[in-house]
């Protein structure tokens, strides 16, 4: 049995944060019904690349779901949605603030039908506060919530992260909150409204950098591929390319010094502990750079592996996906001929189950309507479903 077997989720969401949340729940065994407009989720058209008409973007976050294509503004849609809500456990929506209510699919309307419902709203800036009405997109959130200012070359322009981390982290936070709310509902019998935003999530993901600013009152500088609080913990150039070195403890520093035949550094006043190394990062990293420039990447990776010091090549995405570890960990899967990255959640008794490829638009409309006693042909003729 899967962890969330018996849980039904109605996903009124599109693009990435909401669908990412829905896919985590689907991977864990929930039945996730993706409610789509007749135009479908925006990401269905975001490409290339496409595979048999399916966009890679849509495929990354919509496996294990069923698609119901419905016109929520059609009068006859109301009875269908209400019937689905009565038997649902969770709703996930990421409409712009006020839109769900205008469509009759807001929390208050649904809670009146099903008080046990866990209803999760995902938005750019939250459902309350001065910016509640603003649309939120990952790129803008990365900029506004401080992430871009600490990303990129130390002397260059600020950069966004290469994937939509604010969206993805928000989807994960939404899934965590939903699981907590389901736990509370099972104990109390009461559902609740969850409000998760990209801005809040990204601000919290500033983590130690945000904490540094709160401690000091000084703004955070950009370190590029170095670390604000740990030295050496950055990328270095070897004679034929770059690699990263992560010396995150005094034990690792000692091992590094011995591996490089510089035991004198262990007790050197400027390098003897991490605080001193942070203060003298320029001098230390210059010495390390001179050492590393004398041999190729493979030499240094082998040396540090033998010494037990974390070091790694800087792989391309394809190189990363081609690593044997990906197969060892079951992190590349295929469903219905669609290749995908697998779930990172490894549960010993209730493992993730992959059962359905990302659905075609409206693929399950008839199945879902028939299950609740509706007439698919009549609703299609009335313009309610596709």
How far apart, in whole angstroms, are the C-alpha atoms of residue 201 and residue 169? 7
Structure tokens at 208: 């130690």
CA-based nearest residue to 94, from 45, 41, 31, 161: 41
DSSP state of 311: E
DSSP collapsed to 3 states, 106-121 = CHHHHHHHCCCCEEEE
Which DSSP string do the residues of 360-380 spell out, in sequence order? PTTTTHHHHHHHTT--HHHHH
DSSP class per residue in 244-286: EEE--SHHHHHHHHHHTT-GGGTS-TTTSSHHHHHHTHHHHHH
CA 182 – CA 178 distance, rounded (Å): 6
User: Rounded to whole angstroms, what are the CA distances from 373 to 82, 200, 367, 386?
Assistant: 13, 41, 10, 17
Residue with tokens 């969330």: 4
* Rounded Cα–Cα distance for residues 81 and 71 (Å): 11
Catalytic positions are 167
Could you give the 3-state DSSP secondary structure of residue 123? Answer: strand
Report how far residue 348's alpha carbon sits from residue 151's, in angstroms, rounded to the nearest whole number: 37
Residue appearing with tokens 């035991």: 263
């Amino acid at each position: 049995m899967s962890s969330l077997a018996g849980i039904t989720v109605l996903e009124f969401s599109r693009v990435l944060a909401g669908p990412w949340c829905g896919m985590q729940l689907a991977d864990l065994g929930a039945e996730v019904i993706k409610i789509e407009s007749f135009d479908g989720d925006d990401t269905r058209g975001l490409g290339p690349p496409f595979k048999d008409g399916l966009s890679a973007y849509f495929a990354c976050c919509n496996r294990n779901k069923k698609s119901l294509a419905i016109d929520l503004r059609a009068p006859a849609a109301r009875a269908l949605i209400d019937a689905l809500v009565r038997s649902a456990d969770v709703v996930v929506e990421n409409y712009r603030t006020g839109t769900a209510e205008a469509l009759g699919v807001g929390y208050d309307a649904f809670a009146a039908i099903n008080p046990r419902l866990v209803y999760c709203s995902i938005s750019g800036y939250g459902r309350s506060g001065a910016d509640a009405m603003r649309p939120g997109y990952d790129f803008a959130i990365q900029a506004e919530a401080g992430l871009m200012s600490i990303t990129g070359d130390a002397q260059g322009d600020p950069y966004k992260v290469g994937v939509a981390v604010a969206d993805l982290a928000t989807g994960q936070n939404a899934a965590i909150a939903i699981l907590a709310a389901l736990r509370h509902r099972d104990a109390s019998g009461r559902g609740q409204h969850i409000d998760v935003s990209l801005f809040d999530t990204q601000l919290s993901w500033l983590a130690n950098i945000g904490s540094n600013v709160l401690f000091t009152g000084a703004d955070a500088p950009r370190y590029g591929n170095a670390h604000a609080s740990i030295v050496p913990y950055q990328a270095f150039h070897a004679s034929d390319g770059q690699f990263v070195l992560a010396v995150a403890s005094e034990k690792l520093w000692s091992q590094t010094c011995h591996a490089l035949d510089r035991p004198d550094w262990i007790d050197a006043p400027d390098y003897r502990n991490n605080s001193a190394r942070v203060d003298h990062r320029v001098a230390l990293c210059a010495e390390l750079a001179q050492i590393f420039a004398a041999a190729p990447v493979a030499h240094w990776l082998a040396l540090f592996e033998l010494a037990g010091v974390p070091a790694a090549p800087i792989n391309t995405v394809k190189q990363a996906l081609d690593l044997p570890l990906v197969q060892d960990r079951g992190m590349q899967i295929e469903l219905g001929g669609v290749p995908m990255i697998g779930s990172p959640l490894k549960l010993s008794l209730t493992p993730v189950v992959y059962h359905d490829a990302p659905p075609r638009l409206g693929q399950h409309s008839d199945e879902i309507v028939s299950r609740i006693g509706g007439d698919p042909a009549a609703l299609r003729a009335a313009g309610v479903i596709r």
